[in-house]
Amino acid sequence: MVLAHALRAKFRSCLEHFPLQSRAKEERKKAKPNRRTPSPRSEARGEILRPPPSPSSDGRRVQPLHHQQIRRLDLLQGRRFRCLRCQDYGSSGRMDTNDSLRVASLWHSMHAISQQLSPTVGCSGIELLEADTFDLHCFQSLTGTKFFVVCEPGTQHMEALLKVIYELYTDYVLKNPFYEMEMPIRCELFDLNLSQAVQKDRVALLGR
């Protein structure tokens, strides 16, 4: 589907080609599925990325990154479209704070667009984005907070991990009386438990 390709391409281009330029707002406006001309950003950097010339064509070839890690980062987004927390677990391809914030706001916009454009009624947004070099799983709570994790393609049980992270969030972040709602999360207990949850998962996966 054209929409899936366009969204995938947009997100992949941002995630895999660093540093991102600060055009998040324009990206939001430009993230329409039926755009036929390449966006100015991709042209400026001479990417081989192009929107598909016809709906039936498959695609796009982007040079794969060399990362071996199981997962890259978890980002939380509050209701006011802000990235509250992001964590890199991989050994390569780390993003700095600004890049993470841009990716987070881009993802929020794409999630919103996908809800409006979905052919099924009552769609709650993108849950899984599969690309050649990564998978992105997203979980949205009924309160609008989104949790997403970027991992290697084909990683199992990410939904369960996201639910565990949601419970950790409700415990160590929301129940901390000194945490202000919608602000970036700086709770040590949350970080600690989050690392433990991810490590446990990684051990389980590596032990296959």
Partner 1 sequence: MPTVGPRSGDAIFAKVERVNAELFTLTYGAIVRQLLTDLEDVEEVNKQLDQMGYNIGTRLIDEFLAKANISRCVDFKETAEMIAKVGFKMFLGVTASVTNWDIEGTCCNMVLEENPLVDFVELPDTCQGLYYCNVLCGVIRGALEMVSMKTEVTWVRDVLRGDDSYELQVKLLKQVPEEYPYKDDE
Residue 127 as a binder of partner 1 (CB under 8 A): the answer is: yes
Question: Shortest Cβ distance from residue 84 to partner 1 (Å)?
Answer: 13
Residue 112 as a binder of partner 1 (CB under 8 A): the answer is: yes
Q: What backbone phi and psi angles, to 5 degrees, belong to 201?
A: -65, -40
Closer residue to partner 1 in complex, CB, 88/166 = 166
Site mask for partner 1 (CB under 8 A), range 28-47, x = bound: xx--x---------------
Q: Which of 57, 63, 98, 141 binds partner 1 (CB under 8 A)?
A: 141
Is residue 62 a contact partner of residue 48, using CB atoms and an 8 Å limit? Answer: yes
Closer residue to partner 1 in complex, CB, 96/167 = 167
Sign of the dihedral defined by the CA atoms of residues 54, 56, 62, 67, in that order: positive
Determine the residue type at 122: G
DSSP structure string for 65-81: P----SEEEEEEE-TTS
The site for partner 1, by CB under 8 A, has a size of 24
Q: What backbone phi and psi angles, to 5 degrees, belong to 9?
A: -65, -45
Report the C-alpha gap between 38 and 43 in whole angstroms. Answer: 7
DSSP secondary-structure letter at 96?
-
Site mask for partner 1 (CB under 8 A), range 65-84, x = bound: --------------x-x---
Whether omega for the bond prior to residue 19 falls within 30 degrees of 0, making it cis, is: yes
Q: Which of 57, 167, 186, 199 binds partner 1 (CB under 8 A)?
A: 167
Residue 143 as a binder of partner 1 (CB under 8 A): the answer is: yes
Task: Please report, as ranges, the residues that interact with partner 1 according to CB under 8 A.
Answer: 28-29, 32, 79, 81, 109, 112, 127, 141-145, 159-160, 163, 166-167, 169-171, 174-175, 181
